[in-house]
Amino acid sequence: MPRLGSLRATLWLRRAMSLGVLEPRPPGKRWLVAGLGNPGLPGTRHSVGLAVLGQLAQRLGVADGWARDRRCAADLALASLGDAQLVLLRPRRLMNNNGRSVARAEL
């Protein structure tokens, strides 16, 4: 399986956990996988990241498990891959502002 991204971080996403979106998990590998793009504009070159993230969520069986996090203006889904925990982040901002959603995910 190809690498899922180069942004490796230890995530707690306190806000999402306090909302009951994510369940606590013992310490281990955690990866943030952010699908960058323009929401509402599928099929454009600027939304390829969102399309890839959607396919990944489908393959991991969490495509129906998205939960909105207003604090970081994104949808989140939690998945496991081997011994790693993946936090999938789908920003709700336009492409040029996706970095704000990623930064607010409290890495």
10-49 pLDDT, tens per residue?
233 344 444 444 555 556 788 999 999 998 888 888 889 9
* 16 burial type by CB count under 10 A (0-12 exposed, 13-18 middle, 19+ buried): buried
- The per-residue pLDDT for 29 is 86
- Enumerate the active-site residues: 46
The pair of three-digit structure tokens given for residue 39, joined into one six-digit string: 């929401």
Range 14-103 has CATH code 3.30.420.40: no
pTM of the model: 0.70
Alpha-carbon span 87 to 15, nearest angstrom = 13
